[in-house]
């Protein structure tokens, strides 16, 4: 890879004193936000060190946008303010609603808590009601009766067993519609794949308008939001050439103060040495992250030109640095790279090789494309996807692996997708 090789730079890290190395590793492993706090731990008792926070200094500035198509980011102050607002999880939100009159007794509350414990991240109830009822020493009918009350909780549709029941739960929230429209909605929801059979009825359009407002999955609003991140590495293409830049704009500045003293005791000598070691450690972090970025671009050059991520092992980089793979793993944890294809976790470039030059990332990308272009009247089953993957990549896999990848991509099953496609017809 001649083009990638030109990106390599002679950034070898000099041998440092043991005290520098001890401070370098924690600083290296910290992300940009945490690094300031990490450095401050070393600096707070050192009279020579003054720490200037770049994040505080640029409190009202905006993050650098190396790409014109990158989504606009709010100011640092807005982001820090938003991070300070605690958002309740789905399970906390549900637990807070276990109050009378819906749950008037401790027994009903205990049953409801058990139901919450068996709701998946999408908001669906995934356990066997009979088994759960037996474990609580109650009857199945009592357990089911309490679960049906979840139709009146927020978010609407949560606690249902499947898409149809979730839609029926969400229908309970539409008290403003007429009885005729409500009845038709119930019929259509229970026969979603054939909803066109009801198109001649006078309330069909209004019923479908209501149904199309329903959320699937019901806990969609509680899906983990993308965290606010400051990328450590910027990969920029300029005039056909790829450049790797260290995004050190938000690094804190370590300043060694000039202390005037009459005598230079051993204590101050040690503190001055520690201050210089701290600056060396910060420089070592910059060099290390820069070199990691250069090596990623060299190994993954095709990706930055629009291709796929190739299999890459932590050992590939660890050998270059002379460190254990576990050290490099900690070094890249919670760190991000920004390029024209978005802001990506650095760890995402270290994909697991499935067979030869095929990575799990390549498989997932292929699955996404298949689903994107599938026949909406005949969505692809996991078995069909498996056969297409084996044909394209010339490897053997099992269907449960395809199912796992599909779920990781937040793609519904073929039967669920067919129902969703049916609902979207005519919108």
Please report which confidence band the pLDDT of residue 408 belongs to, taking 50, 70 and 90 as the band edges.
confident
Q: Are residues 232 and 217 in the same domain?
A: no
C-beta of residue 368 within 8 angstroms of C-beta of residue 380: no
Domain span at residue 137 reads: 90-222
Residues 197-243 have pLDDT tens digits of 999 999 999 999 999 889 888 988 776 555 567 899 999 988 878 99
Alpha carbons within 13 angstroms on the beta-carbon side of residue 49 total: 23
C-beta of residue 150 within 8 angstroms of C-beta of residue 159: yes
The answer to whether residue 209 sits within a structural domain is yes
Q: Are residues 213 and 123 in the same domain?
A: yes
Q: Are residues 377 and 331 in the same domain?
A: no
Q: Are residues 333 and 357 in the same domain?
A: no
C-beta of residue 235 within 8 angstroms of C-beta of residue 298: no
What's the pLDDT score for residue 103?
A: 95
Please report which confidence band the pLDDT of residue 341 belongs to, taking 50, 70 and 90 as the band edges.
confident
pTM of the model: 0.48
| Mean pLDDT along residues 78-102 | 72
Q: Are residues 419 and 367 in the same domain?
A: yes
Which of 29, 32, 12, 21 minimizes the C-alpha distance to 330?
Answer: 29
Q: Are residues 148 and 270 in the same domain?
A: no
The answer to whether residue 163 sits within a structural domain is yes
Which CATH number belongs to the domain containing residue 375 in this structure? 1.10.10
- Residue 147: partners with Cβ closer than 8 Å, 6 or more residues away: 111, 115, 125, 129, 159
Q: Are residues 325 and 370 in the same domain?
A: no
Q: List, in sequence order, the alpha helices (H) in 84-139.
A: 90-95, 106-117, 129-136
How many domains is the chain built from?
3
Q: Are residues 342 and 264 in the same domain?
A: yes
Query: Of 222, 247, 277, which residue sits at a domain end?
Result: 222
Helices 414-424/163-171 angle, 10° precision:
40
Q: Are residues 195 and 123 in the same domain?
A: yes
Residues 91-148 have pLDDT tens digits of 889 999 999 999 999 999 999 999 998 898 889 998 899 999 999 999 999 999 999 9
Q: Are residues 94 and 217 in the same domain?
A: yes
Query: Of 329, 346, 363, which residue sits at a domain end?
Result: 346
What's the pLDDT score for residue 61?
A: 41
Q: Are residues 120 and 179 in the same domain?
A: yes
The answer to whether residue 85 sits within a structural domain is no
Q: Are residues 19 and 37 in the same domain?
A: yes
Query: Of 311, 346, 381, which residue sits at a domain end?
Result: 346
The answer to whether residue 17 sits within a structural domain is yes
Residues 350-382 have pLDDT tens digits of 765 555 556 677 788 889 999 999 999 889 988
The answer to whether residue 82 sits within a structural domain is no
**Bridge-based pairing state of the strands 233-238 and 342-345:** unpaired
**φ/ψ of residue 345, rounded to 5:** -60, 135
The answer to whether residue 83 sits within a structural domain is no
Q: What does 157-209 look like in DSSP terms, one character per residue?
A: TTT-SSHHHHHHHHHTT-TTS-HHHHHHHHHHHTTGGGGGGGTTSTTHHHHHH
Task: Report the range of poorest mean pLDDT among 123-132, 182-191, 415-424.
Answer: 415-424
Q: Is residue 255 predicted with pLDDT exceeding 60?
A: yes
What's the pLDDT score for residue 70?
A: 43
Tokens standing for residue 411: 């793609």
The answer to whether residue 16 sits within a structural domain is yes
For residue 73, CA distances in Å to 65, 70, 247, 352 come to 9, 9, 16, 32
Residue 41: other Cβ atoms inside 10 A? 10
The answer to whether residue 279 sits within a structural domain is yes
CA–CA gap between residue 71 and residue 22 (Å, rounded) = 38
């Amino acid at each position: 890879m001649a083009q990638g090789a030109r990106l390599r730079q002679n950034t070898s890290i000099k041998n440092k004193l043991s005290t520098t190395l001890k401070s370098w590793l924690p600083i290296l492993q910290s992300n940009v936000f945490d690094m300031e706090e990490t450095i401050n731990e070393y600096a707070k008792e050192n009279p020579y060190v003054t720490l200037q926070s770049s994040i505080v200094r640029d409190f009202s500035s905006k993050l650098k946008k190396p790409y014109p198509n990158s989504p606009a980011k709010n100011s640092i102050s807005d982001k820090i303010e938003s991070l300070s607002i605690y958002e309740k999880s789905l399970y906390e939100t549900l637990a807070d609603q276990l109050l009378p009159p819906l749950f008037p007794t401790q027994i009903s509350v205990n049953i409801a808590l058990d139901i919450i414990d068996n709701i998946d991240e999408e908001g669906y109830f995934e356990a066997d009601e009979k088994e759960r009822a037996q474990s609580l020493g109650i009857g199945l009918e009592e357990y089911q009766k309490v679960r049906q009350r979840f139709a009146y909780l927020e978010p609407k549709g949560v606690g249902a067993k499947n898409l149809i029941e979730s839609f029926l739960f969400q229908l309970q929230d539409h008290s403003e519609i007429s009885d005729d429209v409500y009845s038709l909605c119930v019929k259509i929801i229970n026969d979603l794949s054939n909803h066109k059979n009801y198109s001649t009825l006078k309330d069909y359009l209004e019923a479908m308008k209501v149904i199309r407002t329903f959320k699937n999955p019901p806990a969609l609003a509680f899906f983990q939001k993308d965290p606010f991140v400051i990328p450590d590495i910027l990969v920029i293409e300029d005039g056909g050439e790829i450049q790797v830049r260290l995004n050190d704009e938000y690094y804190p500045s370590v300043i060694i103060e000039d202390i005037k003293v009459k005598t230079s005791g051993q204590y101050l000598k040690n503190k001055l040495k520690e201050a210089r070691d701290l600056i060396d450690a910060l420089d070592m972090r910059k060099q290390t992250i820069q070199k990691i970025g250069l090596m990623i671009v060299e190994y993954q050059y095709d990706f930055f030109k629009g291709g796929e991520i190739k299999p890459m092992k932590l050992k590939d980089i660890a050998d270059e640095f002379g460190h254990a793979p576990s050290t490099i793993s900690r070094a890249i944890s919670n760190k991000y790279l920004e390029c024209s294809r978005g802001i990506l976790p650095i760890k995402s470039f270290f994909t697991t090789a499935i067979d030869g030059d095929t990575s799990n990332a390549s498989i997932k990308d292929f699955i996404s494309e298949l689903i994107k272009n599938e026949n909406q009247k005949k969505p692809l089953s996991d078995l069909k996807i498996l056969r297409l993957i084996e044909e394209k990549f010339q490897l053997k896999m099992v269907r449960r692996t395809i199912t796992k990848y599909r779920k990781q991509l937040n793609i519904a099953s073929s039967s669920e997708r067919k129902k969703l496609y049916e609902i979207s017809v005519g919108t």
